Amino acid sequence: MDGGKPMNKVGIYYAYWTHNWAADFVPFVARAKKLGFDVLVVNSGTVADMSPAEPRRLQDAGARHGIELTACIGLPAKYDPASPNRATRERGIAFLKKQARALAETGIHEVGGIVYGYWPGTLPAGETDKPPYWDRSVKSMREVMKTAEDCGVIFHMEVVNRFEQYMMNTAAEAVRYVRQVGSPNCKVLLDTFHMNIEEDSFRGAIQTAGKHLGHVHIGETNRRAPGRGKMAWAEIFRALKEIKYQGSVVMEPFLMPGGEVGRDIKVFRDLRDGLSLDKEAARACAFVKRALR
């Protein structure tokens, strides 16, 4: 793996540049390409709500600049597929199916995030056991997978820390979940920010995910761009090579306070330190590509 072209495509999340989740993604396509990226991640909820002409405009921009488009989302509580309320579950299933169809029409074939529950989510007051929620989520996801398979869209279950969701906090839990769902279109998404909180070993978690690992998010322990902090990058990239991971490696830095993004991601101080967002993204992209060679 030494020298030459990186073994994986490297991407960035559009919200690195925005204060709010709703955005016109097209300008970020050319921006991502200019800074050295191969992939741009957009918000799948926004894609599903686009006017008839917008999906083609976004798809054409990706093709024109040679940028692969993927998507991400954290479901709001009203779409919780694990809810004890049947109407809420059915609403969530319908919403995820709608997203699968909309993404396919836009030429997007991967979506990751908290799609198995709501975000940020915790057990309701008075509840202490998650197995019933787990079982309902698995059953709901099996329904979603019928449409996902028909549309050719892969759903990546993002493993997040206990302070953001209760369903799955480790790679081992995620593997158990996707095995129970039993669809080739249901895979695991690991994120270094969350792994740093929950896993005993980065290498161990990546090896546990193994063939089920479909997508990877990366960032420093404080949400800065890769290469600025104390994250164990050598261990992480070595483990990805050991399992012959072929998917994308997408950075999710969040540096700006303010707006919906700053509020929801809990960025309450400016982490830019006077740096240009574009220059910092380009530096981080080069850092990751060197590490993946």
The residues annotated as belonging to the active site are 158, 252
SS3 of residue 187 by DSSP: strand
Distances (CA, A) of 88 to 67, 79, 136, 166: 36, 6, 11, 18
Sequence-distant (≥ 6) Cβ neighbours of residue 230 within 8 angstroms: 220, 221
* Long-range contacts, stretch 119-127, CB < 8 angstroms, 24+ apart: 119/74, 119/75, 119/76, 119/160, 119/164, 119/165, 120/74, 120/163, 120/164, 120/165, 120/264, 121/77, 121/80, 121/164, 121/165, 121/166, 121/167, 122/165, 122/166, 123/166
SS3 of residue 64 by DSSP: helix
Q: In terms of Cα–Cα distance, which of 211, 167, 207, 206 is closest to 190?
A: 206
Sequence-distant (≥ 6) Cβ neighbours of residue 114 within 8 angstroms: 73, 74, 75, 121, 158, 160, 164, 165
